[in-house]
Structure 1
């Protein structure tokens, strides 16, 4: 006699690229969340053409994940959109392989979205591995936020996840390392824009959702450890190029090319000052600060993570033994 399987309420959606050393902890935490939630769930793991043991770990883990294994490397926005399309739950919890949910986080996020039918997304408080809180929610980028950051006022004027003793609240956007998304709302705008290969994709998503009447919640009672920066798997310069390229893409898309052009010198100024200071201050990298200056002022130049993925895919297409 067959038994009907309950339709999932929550789909846990994990994207990973060569993060096998963290994937097991991520899935262990999801398994605990499933037991605590006591609601129908499913687990999806999208492996972005990893060359380590990620696929084996995902398939063998007792959480029973449905594994989507890509043979070509794609961008984070495309990966998350694929999972949102595949998800059977009303809500999808987007996670990186280096995200480790703390007990009860999923319930807190779910309760927040179920209480507020106009909220499309709910983000967790992200913690560093040592337990210190990372910035997790911000105001949407624009000239004002760019100026505030240049004047070192970002903690009070741009970051929206600061403060203690404050409960769930509306914010502009939360990071997608741990973001619960109302799938139907996201579907109405086509999910994430694949032009954002990595970085900025969740900002653009939540801005487009707000433009059609939705909003985002920051839920500090939901906590998630984030081993930040491990999921990109590329060098520092490529990450810097990709970051500023997509920051400029967002500004052009939502504020126009004139505002984007005005923001570039303002954003570059503090990095230029840091470059000069690093010449005489020990422990600071002149080269790294200068990379930021170059990437901000010329966002169309340089090779980022997208180009690294394209090179990886091109190598896969080479016949065995090299090119003819």
Structure 2
């Protein structure tokens, strides 16, 4: 970044114990900075990691400003903190396991510059093997839940794919360029969404206020999303369905949210039954989805795990006076 220049783009990375993937994320950002030839800044918010993430971020030549939290908080709160801290006109929200492909940032920036009512622009997300993942969807509601229950999710709910930039309802925040002035008008992300659903709610509230989101297939980003197993997987599933319920109640009311529960559980039940005979599939994992969909306000999620971690910080070590 040019010394003293006001940044156009703020690269904003949030991570927790991602020392194994953070270097690739920062390497990709450094390459994007060279390609852009625009003033930029890099912000890394570390969510109280216990690995080497803070050291890696501080020593990386990209020159990041590191915000090292002592207590863990949710993704929505972390992204909002970065949006408040960022000095750029645009903030590129990234996970620590997001790896921008060459030129992705410019494609996202050009899309927002061409469309002054677009508040967000999302990239096409790729698996590490190069296979494209769904990365843009219609807003959740009774109609989309019914489509999912009929196994028509890809045809009627997924909006990513294709080669041209177009308007969509919402894009995943693993690589999402946000017009900060637009986001600020609605107070950024709602911290009640601890993890999952926060970017959906953000883009829905922006849409309710006259903004919209773009999906930009020419912008590509590898998402090295790790698959949790055991207790970690179950906590993620609980948190996912808890926040899906929160969104439905907030934007459609409790009656619609209740009607959506059995519809949303049905495809998971089918998968659980199929997994009993198909090799390499876990019926238990699908059954966890069924239970959490039908009873979204029960169970231990990622929020509780973070609260337990924070509580340990306040517990004096054994033998302390």
TM-score (norm. length: structure 1):
0.95
Q: Where does residue 60 of structure 2 map in the other structure? A: 61
CA contact (8 A) 1:44 1:66 kept: yes
Check 1:232–1:58 CA distance in 2 against 1; reply closer, same or farther (3 A cut): farther
| Whole-Å separation in 2 of the counterparts to 1:210 and 1:136 | 18
Residue aligning to 2:215: 218
Q: Deviations over 1:249-288 (max 9, x none)?
A: 0000000000000000011112222223333333322211
Cα deviation code 1:16-67 (max 9, x no counterpart): 1000011011001000100100110000000000000000000000110000
Asked if structure 1 preserves the Cα contact closer than 8 Å seen for 2:227 and 2:233, the reply is no
Name structure 2 gaps, 5 residues minimum: none
Give the corresponding residue for 1:209. Answer: 206
Does the 8 A contact of 2:122 with 2:214 survive in 1?
yes
1:13 partnered with 2:12:
yes
Over residues 223-246 of structure 1, what are the superposed CA-to-partner deviations in whole Å (9 max), with x where a residue is unaligned?
000012469997110010000000
Using a 3 Å threshold, how does the CA distance of structure 1 residues 280 and 231 change in structure 2: closer, same or farther?
A: closer
Superposed displacement of residue 289, structure 1: 1.3
**For residue 281 of structure 1, what is the aligned residue in structure 2?**
278
SS of the equivalent of 2:225 reads coil
Q: Distance in 1 between matches of 2:21 and 2:277?
A: 38
* Count of aligned positions: 320
Name the residue aligned to 1:197: 194
Q: Give the CA deviation at 1:317.
A: 1.0
Deviates more, 1:222-231 or 1:132-141: 222-231
Instruction: Output one character per residue of 1:74-122: Cα deviation in whole Å (capped at 9) or x when no partner.
Output: 1000000000000000000000000000010000000000000000000
**Does the CA-based 8 Å contact 2:241-2:293 persist in structure 1?**
yes
Counterpart residue number, 2:94: 95
Q: Hey, what's the Cα distance between the residues in 2 that align with 1:131 and 1:170?
A: 24
Q: For the aligned residues, what is the CA RMSD? A: 1.7
Asked if the contact 2:94/2:174 (under 8 Å) is kept, the reply is yes
Pick from 224, 247, 255 the counterpart of residue 252 of structure 2: 255
Residue aligning to 2:299: 302
User: Alpha-carbon deviation of 1:323?
Assistant: 8.1
Query: Residue 244 of structure 1 is aligned with which of 236, 241, 257?
Result: 241
Name the structure 2 match of 1:314: 311
SS at match of 1:203: helix
- Structure 1 CA distance, aligned partners of 2:141 and 2:306? 29
The equivalent of 1:180 in structure 2 is: 177
Q: 1:46 to 1:233 in 2, by over 3 A?
A: farther
Question: Which residue in 2 is equivalent to 1:49?
Answer: 48
Distance 1:230 1:68, change over 3 A: farther
> Matched residue of 1:77: which SS?
helix
Q: CA deviation at 1:10?
A: 0.3
CA contact (8 A) 2:161 2:217 kept: no
Q: How is 1:67-146 mapped onto 2 (pairs within 5 angstroms)?
A: 67-146=66-145
- Between the aligned partners of 2:60 and 2:48, the Cα distance in structure 1 is 19
8 Å Cα contact 1:96-1:231 kept in structure 2: no
Counterparts of 1:207 and 1:192, CA distance in 2: 11
Cα pair 1:121 1:181 within 8 Å, conserved: yes
Per the alignment, residue 154 of structure 1 pairs with 153
TM-score (normalizing by structure 2): 0.96
